[in-house]
């Protein structure tokens, strides 16, 4: 077996690992795998496929909204598209992509041989495709799939929905179980399997942000499970949790949903902060500015995320002092979020910057996520939120933080670590095409949404008044272009998986630091079977 020092000397380790690698072949490799790298790959491909499926639904939405009038789909189907698009992008694309990155990277970053609970790891992935087959299958039921928005407000999702709601509830339960198992795995791995010397405050920020995310997941996914279960029993078993006629309250549904929903927002962005905090220092060739404050800021955001949920509900008729509490608490979140952005900028300041693909996506992330953050600050102001609420301004806001935020960070991560995974540099020409096409089209897609929203266009409508027509045309064109741009990414990924391209060094990027850059490229099937010593 290799000794600790061997692992840190790539050539020896490479030879050693090659010798002992027994990579199973065929479909059973993937079905029965307990290897964190295989499971990471499965998660990432699953997320990408779901991204394309959810994206296809967005294309249907944008095609219908290309001009006023009903052209392509019926309103009922339109509502199914907005609903399932949201569910797939949140639970099928962004969350599994981050879990995939966690699987690949956390063991490699903390010097662990694998995740702590590898069999559960296999299970937490393999129940996901079933969950999404159930959800997608519900679209083919009589009356169609869920059409009540991804937020499934009662009583639209209870008394007024069709029977496919049962499938929706079941699939959300499975997604929740999968997320909780993934989160448990992350926490146990980080607590127990750090290499000697990898103290808490030496952990890479991606590990830190994922650790905090995992706690958020464990805290709120059961709340979501409770919400869907109450919807199920209200609809099929005669309870009245959300029905005033039976002593319930439809607004209580929203409190429960958003108590899950707001931490969920941070579940989808904290790992992104971690990724950006890994990439910016590498391409600035300078240590991350304010490491400790980054950790504390992440923890503060996570804690605050539990006391701001009702800012999604300002129009539901809360007492004015409750509205003020949630307004002030929400505004407070901008302080630690601001600290993060300032730290990234300070890291770049007086660095030695180069602009490879991961850095380009990271910079795009910082700018565009900040725009989403600033519109979020505007949305926090209750009196003006009355005007913004449920308009395209909100749609613009959360697509800036989720697409140019979370999704761009995932792309940055793939461009950053893909050479380590495959051992080959991907096609940088294709990558540039992907970046520039995505960057331009995503802004044509989402920026004018601010305008139509402020001008008064409600969200989730299949047809609109004539004054919104010009911008909607542009938004749709941007949408189609952004959708097509992702096919460039698909081509690049297929080429990369076929191991085309030039071989890369172990460090891959000149400024990269951390345990994952000290192991060979491509990363052997088993790494750190003997823990490295972190100085």
Partner 1 sequence: MKRLTVSAVKGLTNKLALWLYSLPLLGFSALSIGASSDTEEISSINLRPGATEISGQVYDLHMLMFYICVAIAVAVFGVMFLSMYLHRKSRGAKPANFHENVKVEIAWTVVPFLILIFMAVPAANTLIAMEDTSEPDMTVLVTGSQWKWHYKYMDSDVEFYSLMATQREQIENRFDKGENYLLEVDRPLVIPTGQKVRFLITSDDVIHSWWVPDFAVKKDANPGFINEAWTRVDEPGIYRGQCAELCGKDHGFMPVVVIAKEPAEYNAWIDEQEAIAKRAREEEQRLLAMNMSMDELMTEGERVYNAACAACHMPNGEGLPGVFPALKGSEMVLEDQHAHIEIVLNGKSGTAMQAFGKMLSLKEIAAVVTYERNAWGNNTGDAVQAKDVNAVVNGN
Positions in 159-218 near partner 1 (CB under 8 A): 159-160, 162-164
277 a catalytic residue: yes
> Any contact of residue 232 with partner 1 (CB under 8 A)?
no
Contact 450, 395 (CB under 8 A): no
Q: Of the listed pieces 30-38, 63-71, 123-131, 179-187, which binds partner 1 according to CB under 8 A?
A: 63-71
Q: Of the listed pieces 35-43, 102-110, 174-182, 338-346, which binds partner 1 according to CB under 8 A?
A: 338-346
> Least distance in Å: CB of 39 to partner 1?
28
> Which residue in 33, 83, 165, 179 is the catalytic one?
179
Give the DSSP letter of residue 309.
G
Q: Of the listed pieces 86-94, 104-112, 180-188, 461-469, which binds partner 1 according to CB under 8 A?
A: 461-469
Q: Give the DSSP per-residue string, 14-76.
A: HHHHHHH-----HHHHHHS---HHHHHHHHHHHHHHHHHHHHHHHHHHHHHTTSSS--SS-HH
85 a catalytic residue: yes
Q: Is 290 left (phi over 0), alpha (psi -120 to 50) or beta?
A: left
Q: Cα separation of 110 and 532, whole Å?
A: 9
Which residues 258-297 are close enough to bind partner 1 by CB under 8 A? 284-293
Q: Cα separation of 412 and 425, whole Å?
A: 14
438 a catalytic residue: no
> Any contact of residue 334 with partner 1 (CB under 8 A)?
yes
Burial class (CB in 10 A: 0-12, 13-18, 19+), 63: middle
293 a catalytic residue: no
340 a catalytic residue: yes
179 a catalytic residue: yes
Instruction: Output b/e per residue, 93-127; b: 16+ Cβ within 10 A.
Output: bbbbbbbbbbbbbbbbbbbbbbbbbbebbbebbbe
With tokens 């959800």, the residue in question is 135
Which residues 13-52 are close enough to bind partner 1 by CB under 8 A? none
> Any contact of residue 428 with partner 1 (CB under 8 A)?
yes
Taking each helix axis from N to C terminus, what angle separates 469-497 and 36-64, rounded to the nearest 10 degrees?
150
> Which residue in 16, 64, 114, 516 is the catalytic one?
114
What is residue 391's three-state secondary structure?
Answer: strand
CB neighbours of residue 129 within 10 Å: 15
> Any contact of residue 141 with partner 1 (CB under 8 A)?
yes
> Any contact of residue 244 with partner 1 (CB under 8 A)?
yes
> Least distance in Å: CB of 332 to partner 1?
7
Which residues 339-378 are close enough to bind partner 1 by CB under 8 A? 339, 341-342, 345-357, 360, 363-364, 366-368, 370-371, 374-375, 377-378
Q: Cα separation of 157 and 152, whole Å?
A: 5
> Least distance in Å: CB of 62 to partner 1?
15
> Any contact of residue 236 with partner 1 (CB under 8 A)?
no
Q: Of the listed pieces 117-125, 126-134, 196-204, 237-245, which binds partner 1 according to CB under 8 A?
A: 237-245
> Which residue in 165, 209, 277, 422 is the catalytic one?
277
Which residues 379-418 are close enough to bind partner 1 by CB under 8 A? 381-384, 386-387, 389-391
Question: What are the DSSP E strand ranges found in 89-153?
Answer: none
> Which residue in 340, 399, 420, 450 is the catalytic one?
340
With tokens 């199920």, the residue in question is 232
Give the DSSP letter of residue 267.
H
Looking from the CA of 479 toward its CB, the CA atoms found within 13 Å total 25
Please give the structure tokens belonging to residue 358. 């991961």
> Any contact of residue 148 with partner 1 (CB under 8 A)?
yes
> Any contact of residue 316 with partner 1 (CB under 8 A)?
yes
165 a catalytic residue: no
Please give the structure tokens belonging to residue 481. 């272009």
> Any contact of residue 471 with partner 1 (CB under 8 A)?
yes
Residue nearer to partner 1 on the CB measure, 58 or 327: 327
CB neighbours of residue 358 within 10 Å: 27
Number of residues near partner 1 (by CB under 8 A): 124
Q: Cα separation of 448 and 432, whole Å?
A: 25
> Any contact of residue 250 with partner 1 (CB under 8 A)?
yes
337 a catalytic residue: yes
Please give the structure tokens belonging to residue 396. 């613009």
> Least distance in Å: CB of 321 to partner 1?
9
Q: Cα separation of 95 and 102, whole Å?
A: 11
Q: Cα separation of 104 and 417, whole Å?
A: 9
> Least distance in Å: CB of 107 to partner 1?
24
> Which residue in 262, 389, 399, 424 is the catalytic one?
262
> Least distance in Å: CB of 181 to partner 1?
32
> Least distance in Å: CB of 373 to partner 1?
9
Looking from the CA of 94 toward its CB, the CA atoms found within 13 Å total 25
Residue nearer to partner 1 on the CB measure, 9 or 316: 316
> Least distance in Å: CB of 99 to partner 1?
29
> Which residue in 17, 38, 64, 264 is the catalytic one?
264
CB neighbours of residue 142 within 10 Å: 7
Cα 226 to chain center, whole Å?
22
Q: Give the DSSP per-residue string, 277-299.
A: HHHHHHHHTSPPTTHHHHHHHHH
> Any contact of residue 466 with partner 1 (CB under 8 A)?
yes
> Least distance in Å: CB of 455 to partner 1?
5
Please give the structure tokens belonging to residue 52. 């394309």
> Any contact of residue 243 with partner 1 (CB under 8 A)?
yes
Sequence length of the chain is 535
Q: Of the listed pieces 129-137, 244-252, 261-269, 492-500, which binds partner 1 according to CB under 8 A?
A: 244-252
459 a catalytic residue: yes
> Which residue in 36, 85, 194, 397 is the catalytic one?
85
Residues annotated as part of the active site: 85, 114, 150, 178-179, 262, 264, 266, 277, 311-312, 337, 340, 459
């Amino acid at each position: 077996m290799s000794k600790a020092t061997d692992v840190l000397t790539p050539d020896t380790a490479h030879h050693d690992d090659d010798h002992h690698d027994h990579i199973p072949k065929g479909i059973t490799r993937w079905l029965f795998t307990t290897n964190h790298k295989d499971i990471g790959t499965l998660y990432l491909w699953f997320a990408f496929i779901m991204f394309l499926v959810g994206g296809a639904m967005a294309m249907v939405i944008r095609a219908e909204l290309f001009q006023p009038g009903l052209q392509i789909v019926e309103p009922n189907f339109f509502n199914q598209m907005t609903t399932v698009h949201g569910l797939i992008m949140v639970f099928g694309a962004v969350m599994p992509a981050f879990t995939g990155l966690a699987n690949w990277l956390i063991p490699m970053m903390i010097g662990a041989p694998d995740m702590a609970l590898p069999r559960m790891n296999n299970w937490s992935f393999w129940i996901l495709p079933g969950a999404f087959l159930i959800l997608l299958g519900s679209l083919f039921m009589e009356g169609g799939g869920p059409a009540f928005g991804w937020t499934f407000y009662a009583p639209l999702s209870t008394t007024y929905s069709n029977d496919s709601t049962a499938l929706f509830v079941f699939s959300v339960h499975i997604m929740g179980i999968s997320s909780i198992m993934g989160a448990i795995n992350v926490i146990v791995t980080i607590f127990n399997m750090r290499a000697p010397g990898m103290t808490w405050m030496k952990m890479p920020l991606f590990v830190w942000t994922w650790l905090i995310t995992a706690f958020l997941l464990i805290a709120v996914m059961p709340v979501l499970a409770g919400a869907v279960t109450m919807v199920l029993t209200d609809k099929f078993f005669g309870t009245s949790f959300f029905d005033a006629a039976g002593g319930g309250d439809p607004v209580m549904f929203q409190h429960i949903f958003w108590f899950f929903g707001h931490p969920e927002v941070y579940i989808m962005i904290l790992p992104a902060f971690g990724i950006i905090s890994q990439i910016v220092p590498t391409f600035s060739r300078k240590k991350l500015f304010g490491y400790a404050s980054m950790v504390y800021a992440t923890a503060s955001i996570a804690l605050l995320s539990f006391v701001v949920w009702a800012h999604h509900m300002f129009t539901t008729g809360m007492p004015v002092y409750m509205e003020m509490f949630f307004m002030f608490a929400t505004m407070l979140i901008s302080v630690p979020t601001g600290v993060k952005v300032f730290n990234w900028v300070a890291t770049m300041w007086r660095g030695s910057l180069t602009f490879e693909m991961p850095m380009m996506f990271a910079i795009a992330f910082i700018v565009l996520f900040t725009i989403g953050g600033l519109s979020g600050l505007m949305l926090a102001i209750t009196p003006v939120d009355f005007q913004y609420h449920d308009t395209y301004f909100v749609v613009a806001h959360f697509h800036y933080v989720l697409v140019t935020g979370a999704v761009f960070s995932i792309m940055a991560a793939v461009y950053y670590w893909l050479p380590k995974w495959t051992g080959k540099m991907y096609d940088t020409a294709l990558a540039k095409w992907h970046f520039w096409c995505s960057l331009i089209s995503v802004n044509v897609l989402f920026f004018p949404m601010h305008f139509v929203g402020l001008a008064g266009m409600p969200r989730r409508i299949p047809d609109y008044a004539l004054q919104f027509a010009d911008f909607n045309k542009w938004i749709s064109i941007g949408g189609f272009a952004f959708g097509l741009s992702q096919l460039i990414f698909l081509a690049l990924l297929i080429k990369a998986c076929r191991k085309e391209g030039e071989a890369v060094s172990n460090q891959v990027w000149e400024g990269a630091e951390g345990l994952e850059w000290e192991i060979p490229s491509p990363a052997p099937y088993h790494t750190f079977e003997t823990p490295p010593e972190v100085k």
